[in-house]
């Protein structure tokens, strides 16, 4: 029984580390304020709409995973081809747009620009 608890605690710790690393780039930028360049390792550079604590949203310079994922999201944004439920790629947040032309779409992945630098493969 104790081994199960040990396993769960390790699992929790690992998932926490993963989550911390995933949003490290955004949180660093938030503290410093808007900057021209964000250093990304094995991540792509983009503007990310990050939903924070449900009610607050930030448009921030940050890092997302691969260029192909970004192009996919851009395509969705461009042609407004959104399914009822959006399963966002890893590293992208889901949000509910409010007002404007976006009001008819319930859920979308983060709005961001295409990468300004090539990701490390």
| pLDDT per position as a tens digit, 61-96 | 344 444 444 444 444 444 444 334 445 555 454 444
- Report how far residue 78's alpha carbon sits from residue 94's, in angstroms, rounded to the nearest whole number: 17
Residue 4 predicted with pLDDT over 80:
yes
Which residues are CB-contacts of 77 (< 8 A; sequence separation ≥ 6)? 108, 111
Which residues are CB-contacts of 66 (< 8 A; sequence separation ≥ 6)? 44, 119
- Report how far residue 119's alpha carbon sits from residue 86's, in angstroms, rounded to the nearest whole number: 24
Task: Please give the helix or strand (H or E) that residue 62 lies within, else none.
Answer: strand 56-64
Provide the H-helix boundaries in the chain.
2-32, 67-79
Q: What is the reported pLDDT for 20?
A: 56
| pLDDT per position as a tens digit, 9-64 | 877 777 665 555 555 544 444 444 444 444 444 444 444 443 443 433 333 334 44
């Amino acid at each position: 029984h104790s081994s199960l608890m040990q396993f769960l605690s390790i699992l929790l710790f690992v998932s926490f580390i993963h989550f911390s690393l995933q949003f490290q780039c955004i949180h660093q930028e938030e503290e410093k304020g808007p900057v021209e360049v964000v250093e990304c390792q094995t991540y792509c550079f983009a503007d990310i709409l990050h939903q924070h604590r449900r009610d607050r949203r930030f448009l921030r310079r940050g890092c997302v995973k691969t260029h192909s994922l970004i192009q996919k999201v851009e395509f969705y944004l461009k042609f407004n081809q959104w399914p009822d439920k959006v399963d966002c790629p890893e590293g992208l947040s889901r949000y509910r747009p409010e007002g404007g032309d976006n009001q008819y779409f319930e859920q979308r992945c983060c709005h961001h620009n295409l990468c300004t630098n090539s990701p490390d493969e």
